Chains A and B, each alone.
Chain A
Amino acid sequence: MSMAANPSAGEAYASPPAEPEIPKRRNAELMLLVVALVVGMFAYANVGFAMNNKLPGNFWTVGIGFAVVLLVAHLAVRWLAPYADPLILPLAAGINGLGLVLISRLDPYNIAHGLAPSSGAAKQQAIFSVLGVLVLIAVLFFLRDHKVLQRYAYISALVGLIMIALPAVLPASMSEVNGARSWVKFAGLSIQPAEFAKLLMVSFFAAYLHAKRDTLALASRKVLGIWIPRGRDMGPLIVSWAFAMLVLVRETDLGVSLMFFGAFVIMLYLATERASWLIFGVLMFIGGAVLVGLTFSHVQVRFESWLNPFGDVTNTSRQTAQSLYAFANGGLFGTGLGQGYPYLVGFANNADYIMDTVGEELGLVGLAALLIAYGLFVARGLKTALLVRDPYGKLFAAGLAVTFALQVFITAGGVMRVIPLTGLPMPFLAYGGSALLANWILAALLLRISDSARRPLPPALPLSAPPGFYDPHNPGNDGPNQAVRV
């Protein structure tokens, strides 16, 4: 723990407390941001040379533009959250940058086939990346203490549930994209409300479990070495399970359903330390998903192309098969950016299937680096949860990290055929404005919580009666009564 290394602890004795020497690590962050920018720009140059034999026309404009954006973000963190974790911002920026390059690499095919706007998906994504960074700064500016969010727990739950349920209620013409009804389309905009809802729901779960953890940790009896929770405490689990199943049936969206239920179950485990919740949760979800899969044909199709990807290669399982070919073609070192055929997977090749491009053109070596970057992001979130001193913040940070991890697992697992493919975008990497904005907000929240976790204790209050303290031993006190510091 970084606080453990605080060298000034011993000096506290006689001298007034010196500025505590908890390292802020902002220079490490700046260094990593520079490297992240170099990764993105080098990849962009590589794409240009491989595909058009020259540096992309806007190379220097883009490079300087993003350098300015990242510098502004860095200075904002220095100003607004000086003790924040030094890895969160560079990792988000690095993955975002790599994603932009991959999207621009897929653009020529997608524009020609009407899969991207005629101005290019990369341009839109670049705009949303900049917006995302601005939103990050705004969140850091307006949210000075994450504990404020705890007060709005039930409102966030309500708004979150409405956002998740909205696509299921709207007519299919307004909510369906390629079989999954997880969108809201109006006035030419299409947003994925589940992306924002995940933040609200995690905040609610954290506040709820913080209040109810003691009751939920009660066990009735031990069976086969595990504690069985009391029947009446199963309520919240059953409600969130029913909701997850409803989303699965109505929205055909295994991903959203798994992400929410999974986040709830894992947070329940974190709050109560009872592994039996995990076991019940997993059994319930698998049981429910299999039942739904057997009953509803649209879910069945996805299960079928998962179990048997080469069964119907020209029709239903074509994308899964293409995705597997892409990884196979990539091999150990990949074909090199701009030199493979990852676009052949067709629809959503720059969104849900963007890992194909990483796997095919950067190979196992590049894919492993990317997954480690994701893993580090999650690890820093969990580390923040360990360090922070208030229970709501602990559960909130852990919940955000776990949701992020689940999303990465569900998406990457889907394209690699570990689990049935679902409709979640790869965080920070995939094309999609709402997802990108939501993930930048997630990064901002983690920065905020980690800042309050690593920030040194507030400056010494006078030892007598700090404002707001009732001193029972000296009620009418108007001067130092304990000790005066030298």
Chain B
Amino acid sequence: MTGLTITVMKLGLLAILWIFVLLALGVVRTDLFGAGGSRTGRSRASAKPTPPAAVVDRPSARPRRGAVPTHLVVTSGSLAGTSVALTGVQITLGRAHDSTIVLDDDFSSSRHARIYPDATGQWVVEDLGSTNGTYLDRTKINGPTPVPLGVPIRIGKTALELKK
């Protein structure tokens, strides 16, 4: 084996090592920015037409037409920054371990509240008999209450908002 071959192998190894690291970084990049143009285009295409359809189908839909929330974001409290995508599945809030968002708040009950879409697609918050109550902005809610975009749902020190 000549010295040249060994040197080539040495540099080749460094190259492969860096390819490995760069590919790993590429996966991180995809996580952050999506898989390039085609993919984001597709997701936009699939996301856009549906909400208007929902509104057109049901003229009796609530007034906030066009304002379609896609995320439930925790805006204050120890879980601040956590965000859950709204997929038409109900979201449960509480201290119980099987809640969708496990609250870590002294004022919350184990099954505190749930947030779900009603037949028209309007997201509704409902208190589940909690001890300290659930507030929509500053008003304590009694029974299922529609949640407008950007209005905080308060449970103890935690606040959650629907965001676009």
Contacts and interface: CB of A to CB of B under 8 A. Distances in A.
A32 B20 contact: yes
Contacts of B86: 9, 12
A35 B23 contact: yes
A470 B13 contact: no
Interface in B26-69: 27-28, 30-31, 34, 42-44, 46-48, 50-51, 53-54, 57-58, 68
A49 B16 contact: no
A362 interface: yes
B45 to A, nearest CB: 9
Contacts of B5: 49
Contact of B28 (A369, A376, A457): A376
A68 interface: no
A389 B82 contact: yes
A365 B14 contact: yes
Contacts of B12: 42, 46
A373 B127 contact: no
A461 interface: yes
B128 A87 contact: no
Given A4-B71, A390-B97, A369 B14 contact: yes
B24 A376 contact: yes
Given A5-B34, A389-B102, A470-B128, A46 B10 contact: yes
A113 B6 CA distance: 27
Nearest to A460: B89
Interface string B125-164: 0111100000000000001100000000000000000000
Contacts of A362: 13-14, 17
A447 to B, nearest CB: 15
A337 B86 CA distance: 52
Interface stretch (A13-21, A245-253, A297-305): A13-21
Interface range on chain A: under 10, 10 to 19, 20 to 34, or 35 or more?
35 or more
Contacts of B11: 333
A78 interface: no
A28 B27 contact: yes
Interface centre among B58, B81, B85 (most CB of A within 10 A): B85
Say what secondary structure dominates the interface of chain B: mixed
A32 B27 contact: yes
Interface string A377-409: 001000100100111101000000000000000
Contact of B119 (A5, A20, A91, A485): A485
Interface in A4-43: 4-17, 20-22, 25, 28, 31-32, 35-36, 38-39, 42-43
Contacts of B104: 210, 213, 391
B34 to A, nearest CB: 6
A14 B128 contact: no
B88 A12 contact: yes
A251 to B, nearest CB: 35
A140 B87 CA distance: 27
A50 B6 contact: yes
A379 B1 CA distance: 41
Contacts of A5: 34, 43
A214 interface: yes
Interface centre among B14, B81, B106 (most CB of A within 10 A): B14
B70 A10 contact: yes
A389 B54 contact: no
Contacts of A460: 88-90
Which among B1, B13, B16, B143 has the greatest number of chain A C-beta atoms within 10 A? B13
A315 interface: no
Contacts of B14: 333-334, 362-363, 365-366, 369
A17 B88 contact: yes
Contacts of B47: 7-11
Given A35-B19, A210-B104, A372-B21, A9 B70 contact: yes
A482 interface: yes
Interface of A: 1-17, 20-22, 25, 28, 31-32, 35-36, 38-39, 42-43, 45-46, 49-50, 53, 86-87, 90-91, 94, 98, 145, 147, 150, 210, 213-214, 333-334, 336-337, 339, 362-363, 365-366, 369-370, 372-373, 376, 379, 383, 386, 389-392, 394, 456-461, 463, 466, 468-473, 482-486
Interface of B: 1, 5-7, 9-14, 16-21, 23-25, 27-28, 30-31, 34, 42-44, 46-48, 50-51, 53-54, 57-58, 68, 70-71, 78-79, 81-91, 97, 100-102, 104, 106, 111, 114, 116-121, 124, 126-129, 143-144
5 contacts: A3-B85, A42-B12, A373-B21, A459-B89, A486-B119
Given A456-B87, A460-B89, A473-B144, 12 more contacts: A7-B42, A9-B47, A14-B53, A17-B87, A39-B20, A210-B104, A334-B14, A372-B25, A373-B21, A376-B28, A457-B85, A482-B144
Closest 10 A/B residue pairs (Cβ): A12-B88, A7-B43, A13-B121, A336-B10, A13-B54, A390-B102, A483-B119, A17-B88, A391-B104, A9-B70
